[in-house]
Amino acid sequence: MSLRLFNTMTRQKEEFKSRESGKVAMYVCGPTTYNFFHAGNARMFVVFDMIRRYFMYKGYDVRYVQNFTDVDDKIIQRGHVEGMDPLALAQKYIDEYFKDAKALNILPATVHPKATEHIPEMIEIIQGLIETGLAYDVDGDVYFAVDHFPNYGKLSGRTLEDMKAGARIEVDERKHHPMDFALWKKAKPGEPSWESPWGLGRPGWHIECTAMSLKYLGAGFDIHGGGGDLVFPHHENEIAQTEGYLNGQTFAHYWMHNAFLTINQEKMSKSLGNFFTTRELLAKNSGEVIRFYLLGTHYRSPLDFNDENLGMAQKGLERLQTSVRLAQQALERTGSVRNERIEEGLKKAAQEAREAFEKAMDDDFNSALAYAALFELAKTMNGYVQEHPVSSQALATAQKTLIELGEVLGFDLLHPAQVQVENEEMLSKVMELVLKIRSKARQKKDWEMSDFIRDAFKAEGIVIEDTPQGASWKIKA
């Protein structure tokens, strides 16, 4: 089956055909670095990291570019609030981005360009647009003339009249059209600025991504991605200015966008008090659990974020990790399995899981269905280990398959994140004693006491598991 993805531009699924055989060129809009990135950003970053990983799994050489917007109105305003130079503030939150991205197991991009390092490229593009009549200078501000670009609105499906009627924009009588957007902004006192043919100033938001994507990927690259909130105006404006500059040449062939993240059925917003950063989430949850939750719903479907669903995601991830761990324990024991029918059944289950996983991911990266393939294989492995808790080639194959497919989605099922506790040696000794006490209770068929011990420790974050080889314990991540 060929890989198909939903193209926002055509509003349908299309077979993916890369610009260059065996290679994928992707540009994904990065954060505006004036704060820690929020939970909605996290979904976008995790989704496109998953898409990148799957292309790699399919054998593609992926060139993945994700920028940093490090000069912007929000950065300047936040700099004033914190009493910091705006560019220093931006660098501070770039550094913090990498910490949170690492916790979510997001791979670093091939290139992480910063807007402030590409001012000359932006100026060159703006000059080209002025020369072709698609942009104009008004007292040091340069605007893009939207009504001079044919098919403006083709990505969002809006007409200029629709945009004008529904937009909340400041009235600027200097503009030729109310929807004209800034390519270059005249410097204000105390703001970062650069020399240009139009005087001191700084770039507009949209031109930054045009300059950086063209520099590192060239025209006609494969995939341009971002959150659904970027379709308009950001990506619409990128297309207009870039294809205008390229004399109609295609900017990007596929446009991909993930759906919104809501909080308890409401859109995340500071006014509603339900706005929170990824850093705040990571203070209460492991990054792998957050990632597991974010990929548990198809990327184009809305995702509602709440503690209950997050808890369910944690249990789901632990099920897969437990399956891998139990298989590993069996593989480390000596013995043999002589039932060829059962062995072949397990090998078949591993192959069917891989096929189901690939079928799901080939169909517009359906990670939710891919999860189902992982859980089905884990279930089969668990049943096998209970009946044959010893090493076998079939079990090794199944475990390897589950681990590999988990890695495609960004999970290390063999080495789950460990929760750090103080005095681990003392805790281990205490838990050994607890398991002995519980074992004696079970020998006496005191099931009430056995269950009480298990449930009491679970409430404190320590999971006791009963297996054919005896009880074990672990700290819940």
Residues written for the chain: 477
What's the angle, vertex CA 144, arms to CA 138 and CA 148, rounded to 5? 115
The Cα 353–Cα 369 span in angstroms is 11
The Cα 423–Cα 410 span in angstroms is 30
Residues at the binding site for Zn(2+) are 29, 209, 234, 238
What's the Cα-to-Cα distance from 432 to each of 69, 138, 439, rounded to whole Å?
52, 76, 11
Beta carbons of 328 and 34 less than 8 angstroms apart: no
Angle between helix 393-408 and helix 39-57 axes, rounded to 10 deg: 130
Ramachandran region, residue 139 (left: φ > 0; alpha: ψ -120 to 50; beta: rest)? left
Please state, as a whole number, how many other Cβ atoms lie within 10 Å of the Cβ of residue 256. 23
Contacts of 285 (CB under 8 A, 6+ apart): 310, 314
> Hey, what are 368's tokens?
């939710």
> Hey, what are 53's tokens?
């990983």
What's the Cα-to-Cα distance from 215 to each of 69, 107, 294, rounded to whole Å?
16, 21, 31
Residues at the binding site for ATP are 270
11, burial (CB in 10 Å: exposed 0-12, middle 13-18, buried 19+): exposed
Residues at the binding site are 29, 209, 234, 238, 270
The terminus-to-terminus CA distance of the chain in angstroms comes to 37
Please state, as a whole number, how many other Cβ atoms lie within 10 Å of the Cβ of residue 247. 8
Q: Is the Cα dihedral 321, 361, 113, 84 positive or negative?
A: negative
